[in-house]
Structure 1
Amino acid sequence: MQRRGAGAAQAATERPAHFVAFDLLRLSGTDTTGWPYRRRGAALESVFAAHQMSAPWALCPSTTQKNTVREWLT
């Protein structure tokens, strides 16, 4: 959907999109793929908080707790 101007605005109204983030691979030019997943998650949460990001941006919840996962899947 490579539209610009009025066409882009109309397409956004007709087919709104949301960006859901679940991992952080780069931060300020730094490759974070070698960081532990929890550290990347904490950094991603910090980015969302620092920029007061909200819809259409969304931070995907994550957990390592089996009971929480079971609740999400039921």
Structure 2
Amino acid sequence: MVWEAGQLAFERLQGRLQRQGAAAAPLARERPAHFVAFDILRLAGTSTVAWPYPQRRAALEELFNEHQLAAPWALCPTTTDPDTARE
């Protein structure tokens, strides 16, 4: 995923995917892509699909903290506030 102004910008990633070869390099520098995780479905060989989402999210956040993951890894923002979600 590509970030723009602090938000996910999927359309920017699509624009990057359309470029190949020499045309792709400048755009990759201008708009670096990140792996954005929003859920975890398997952990240490164990399926987490049956876990409730809050438990899976906590495991994902713990994984990011344990491994000190940073760009190009990104943890998708989350909220329980309806106004924030609408925004």
CA distance in 1, matches of 2:83, 2:55: 22
5+ residue gaps, structure 2: 1-21
Corresponding residue for residue 68 of structure 1: 84
TM-score, normalization by structure 1? 0.72
CA distance in 1, matches of 2:48, 2:34: 24
1:34 to 50, 60, 71: 50
Structure 1 stretches of 4+ moved >4 Å: none
Find out whether 1:50 has 2:66 as its counterpart: yes
Aligned to 1:20, the other structure's residue is in SS state strand
Identity, % of aligned pairs? 62
Aligned to 1:45, the other structure's residue is in SS state helix
Q: Which has the higher contact order (CA 8 A, sep 6+)?
A: 1
Q: Deviations over 1:8-41 (max 9, x none)?
A: xxx8x92343100000000000100100001100
Aligned residues, how many? 61
Q: Deviations over 1:34-54 (max 9, x none)?
A: 000011000000000000000
CA distance in 2, matches of 1:40, 1:34: 9
CA distance in 2, matches of 1:29, 1:64: 29
CA distance in 2, matches of 1:33, 1:18: 24
